[in-house]
Structure 1
């Protein structure tokens, strides 16, 4: 585990830079489901969309799938400013929200979006062998669940181990508090069941970079549960997992974490 201090973070270079004359294009509101659930048809059509932001003149571009935060109850797809014009392709995803749906629909939507990416990203100059899944808070939780519980992607005949890397930003590793609320469990009562990334620790999972804010500034013990996940991944023999704690930042730590994500993507894309 590494702790990063504010001064260091300000000096971290953005590792992907815009090439001279390189042009980026944004394609918005692509439906990522082939079929609709009749009872959810209108809401599914509204929410289950993604945007693709890609460099037009590059090929085999590393792909970053970004899930927004919002406690599984709010939020909208967006591209974090630090990911624009950095030589990566960004897929940013909306998913259905509580209370209009309940678990595991959020995770199923996230998996459907990742599956769409595997099957279609070559049309946008992306490399399906370099798909990295990430997000902040609830989005980090979804990234971890899609990558750790192989059942969600197997529905689409995709092995979760094909993901090039998982980079959850301050995401639950225990069962998400909104899912606990749906089940009548207090937010202060920790649960580790099949809706917890911790439940699915395994040696052969994709490479992982876990990033949280400072342990004294984070929300709801987020650092500590992430540190336990990190430790258990080590215990089961996973050889490529790292935990970074960002001193000077609490839960809203997306900006300083983006350079770390980009460095990780560059490193793994070159292996």
Structure 2
């Protein structure tokens, strides 16, 4: 719950500038992560469930960041954050279906399918399947948490969620997402912890986790406190590899100063 962002930025500038200059990068867009033979595949699913990949050419087995965009599960689109480019990583920007065209819980299904796709295909883009980090902002942070914490989801693709190298949600819900609650007529001020809440799946064998939120006084309703409770319960459960940072002075849109924390986390756990 402390911030050392400036130290991390200086560290990363010194250590990565020469490395990044040696690599050239390629972007491939609109790759479908559901096979064409998927039963019941709809046109909306075919259009939304695509990903973009930004990766270094000429270097194999680089760490991978699967990134989910924010937007409350109702808006936004796939993105590759500029701050993650030129760092020697393979970045996967994921699109997913949105409420109200589908139930918000469907977003979790899509996120899981995208992570599974990365495990099975990322070597084609110089990524290391043994070094996949799952991250995202706001709704994207929630999806990252759900896809990994609920082990049963990736297990459907014959993937052990514990093979994820690291989990780094930015300002993600750890209770049931407010859009899922809204679909049930539950107000945003009423917290729910059920099978659509990362807190429901607290366990001591989860991948190394870095929780990042904005300032508790500037964040969205209770977002810091949710993450603090998730952190505490993970520690109580016996998870030793979890850290929480509060980006003091920043609100919910705290991605820019938080990206160096993600990069340093990957350097420490790749």
Short-chain TM bin: over 0.9
> What are the ranges of 5 or more consecutive residues in structure 1 without an aligned counterpart?
none
Superposed CA deviations along residues 10-48 of structure 1, whole A, max 9, x for unmatched, are 64534544444411000000000014453x611001100
How far apart are residue 4 of structure 1 and its match?
Answer: 1.1
Match of 1:247 in 2: 248
Q: 1: distance between equivalents of 2:230 and 2:9? A: 28
CA distance in 2, matches of 1:70, 1:267: 29
Structure-2 residue corresponding to 1:263: 264
C-alpha distance after superposition, 1:86-138 (max 9, x if no partner):
11110000000000000421000000000000000011111000000000000
Do the aligned partners of 2:5 and 2:261 also contact (CA within 8 Å) in 1?
Answer: no
1:83 equivalent in alignment to 2:112: no
The answer as to 2:12 corresponding to 1:13 is: yes
The runs of at least 4 aligned residues of structure 1 exceeding 2 Å deviation read: 5-21, 35-38
Question: CA shift at 1:6, angstroms?
Answer: 6.7
In the alignment, the residues of structure 2 paired with residue 24 and residue 158 of structure 1 have an alpha-carbon distance, to the nearest angstrom, of 29
C-alpha separation in 2, matches of 1:213 and 1:48: 29
1:58-98 CA distance string (max 9 Å, x none): 11100000000000000011111110111111000000000
Give yes or no for contact 2:49–2:110 (8 Å, CA) kept in 1: yes
Map of 2:157 onto structure 1: 156
CA distance in 1, matches of 2:65, 2:120: 15
**Structure 2: runs of 5 or more not aligned:** none
Give the aligned partner of residue 3 of structure 2. 4
Q: Partner residue of 1:197?
A: 198
> 188-197 vs 13-22, which deviates more?
13-22
Could you tell me whether the CA contact under 8 Å between 2:68 and 2:141 is conserved in 1? yes
Q: What is the TM-score normalised by the length of structure 2?
A: 0.95
Cα distance between partner residues in 2 of 1:29 and 1:225? 34
1:229 and 2:230 correspond: yes
Q: What is residue 68 of structure 2 aligned with on the other side?
A: 67
CA-atom RMSD in angstroms? 1.5
Bigger relative contact order (CA 8 A; separation at least 6): 1
- How many Å separate the matches in 2 of 1:268 and 1:69? 25
Where 1:44 maps in the other structure, the secondary structure is helix
Q: 2: distance between equivalents of 1:52 and 1:116?
A: 12
Q: Distance in 1 between matches of 2:224 and 2:2?
A: 11
Q: Distance in 1 between matches of 2:16 and 2:74?
A: 33
Q: Distance in 1 between matches of 2:234 and 2:83?
A: 29
